[in-house]
Structure 1
């Protein structure tokens, strides 16, 4: 009797082992996606050393990785704090077409690349249309939900001493006085003014070495001078809209 029970138990154990081994014959993927070309076909003998049978990539959602200069990374973090994790982006695909979809904040690296001075970012996109293909090279244009207007001046207008940065502002009687300014990002030959200047103030941009507070200057208001200044500013800011008032301006950032 005991031998019979032992035989039944052994048979059940063998059956369970056979079911497990049979389960290995059915291969499943841990993700839903699109499968590539199969490396093996029906009838091939497969062992653990046979390598990958095929490659499956996830199609929806798709994650897009890109890098930002460290100074732009800090600005983007501020925007994330104000606007949340959904970020308006414009993706230009490899064929030049535009995919205008919102990107979801997914990941930011925890260090700055010392070789390039950039931080790796990653956004997540829904891909119902299938237009985004894993491994594809795309161009990412990010923009805040709300535009931000900043004051800018030519870099040549900025002087510095032990106390910090300053510029010379022209008063109503054409005399100059030095004004302390707090500067932000560089934008080509322009510099963002965080504080210290008001819209419409005239700032001296040339011959600063010979100036002292109270020095009288002559303002060139000729059309040719203004046109030249406006054109150079437009060219150097890649077409961003600039409104000049004397030698100061405002820039709308997107």
Structure 2
């Protein structure tokens, strides 16, 4: 048994000695990653914050009758612009005309009684001076005069009331604006304050309402207090389909208070509307010039990589190593992006080859070099 073990140990020892004599294999280094570099440069970056908005008229009124009756006249074309003071609707005026004439007649009667009472009072006062009449008659004449004066005042108020009702029976445009589709037809009975006849709204200028977070109130308050510039581009507008509106706007009003449920406040921006392109109720996109617009560091957008909500770029060191830098990004401007912090003007950032690159990895500017084996011609 001992001899068998001796014979087995000999070959094993020989194999171990041969393996130790063999030179270790050399590990081949990974080739550098081929990349494209672009220098970060400063440029004029003009960009806007965008808000959804709704076009609203500066003036809008629901037309309702203040007197009852039947509709006897409509004096406009639906959808037209009507001038201030133009008659729009007529409610049967006959009884209001009669009431006005009756009120005028009552005033004339009261004025005649006042004249008679005045003469009686003057006469009795003159007789009293001559001690030719009882004092009671003078007092009665004075009381009758005061009553006649009150009747005149009451009759005057009746005339004003009747004249007001007569005027209300003819409904006029309160301002120049576009009138909508009539909600009533000829012959319809209308009730005071309840029956909606139509709606009229102004068009030029017009406003856009939108809401902002309460933390932005100081920003918009500063814009409101700033003197308006005719060609100011702080507020621009585009339609929901992306068509730009050429007229610039100016801040009109900031609402009186914050909505305590949403934490937002309403802001109104006024725009000229000479061609009537903006229509009440239209959905638009309001663009507000960002406060950080101006000269900023710009790099190609494709140089940005995102990891867990953070943004990074690879910056070249001597064109041989790429170091990963965390950056704070601003808005995208065309094919570039604003860098707020993390790199400086003149830094070379990697724009191609990012998917194979690691932090502090070796890089090669330009296309990858072919290996020596690849450069040899294939045998014929």
TM range (shorter): 0.5 to 0.7
Query: Kindly tell me: are residues 15 and 46 of structure 1, through their superposed partners in 2, closer, same or farther at Cα, counting changes over 3 Å?
Result: same
Alpha-carbon separation, structure 2, partners of 1:120 and 1:171? 50
Alpha-carbon separation, structure 2, partners of 1:141 and 1:8? 64
Residue 155 of structure 1 is matched in structure 2 by 304
Alpha-carbon separation, structure 1, partners of 2:329 and 2:220? 16
**Matches for 1:66-105 after TM superposition, within 5 Å:** 80=223, 86=232, 87=234, 89-92=236-239, 99-105=245-251
Is the 2:182–2:197 Cα contact (8 Å) retained in structure 1?
Answer: yes
Q: Which runs of 5+ in 1 are unaligned?
A: 224-254
* Deviation at residue 51 of structure 1 after TM alignment: 1.8
Q: Per-residue displacement from partner, 1:141-186 (whole Å, max 9, x unpaired)?
A: 6667x765442463327799xxx9875532226245565x551336
Is the 1:183–1:193 Cα contact (8 Å) retained in structure 2?
Answer: yes
Residue 231 of structure 1 is matched in structure 2 by none
1:126 to 263, 267, 272: 272
Answer yes or no: is 1:183 the counterpart of 2:328: yes
Query: Kindly tell me: are residues 31 and 9 of structure 1, through their superposed partners in 2, closer, same or farther at Cα, counting changes over 3 Å?
Result: closer
Is the 2:311–2:329 Cα contact (8 Å) retained in structure 1?
Answer: no
1:34 to 178, 189, 196: 178
Query: Kindly tell me: are residues 111 and 196 of structure 1, through their superposed partners in 2, closer, same or farther at Cα, counting changes over 3 Å?
Result: farther
2:317 to 150, 171, 183: 171
Higher helix share: 2
- The aligned length equals 207
Alpha-carbon separation, structure 1, partners of 2:279 and 2:163? 39
Answer yes or no: is 1:13 the counterpart of 2:160: no
Answer yes or no: is 1:196 the counterpart of 2:342: yes
Alpha-carbon separation, structure 1, partners of 2:259 and 2:366? 49
Q: Which runs of 5+ in 2 are unaligned?
A: 1-116, 118-143, 369-380
* Deviation at residue 129 of structure 1 after TM alignment: 2.0
* Deviation at residue 79 of structure 1 after TM alignment: 11
Residue 48 of structure 1 is matched in structure 2 by 192
Q: Per-residue displacement from partner, 1:38-96 (whole Å, max 9, x unpaired)?
A: 2335654432254211110211111234578x7xx79x869959x966435353487x8
Q: What TM-score, normalized by structure 2, do the two folds share?
A: 0.40
Give the match's secondary structure for 1:64: strand
Alpha-carbon separation, structure 2, partners of 1:173 and 1:56? 69
Give the match's secondary structure for 1:53: strand
Task: Choose 1 or 2 for highest CA Rg.
Answer: 2
Answer yes or no: is 1:217 the counterpart of 2:362: yes
Of structures 1 and 2, the one with the larger relative CO (CA 8 A, separation 6+) is 2
* Deviation at residue 99 of structure 1 after TM alignment: 3.8
Query: Kindly tell me: are residues 92 and 177 of structure 1, through their superposed partners in 2, closer, same or farther at Cα, counting changes over 3 Å?
Result: closer
Q: What TM-score, normalized by structure 1, do the two folds share?
A: 0.56
* Cα RMSD after superposing both structures: 4.9
Alpha-carbon separation, structure 2, partners of 1:79 and 1:217? 51
Alpha-carbon separation, structure 2, partners of 1:88 and 1:59? 19
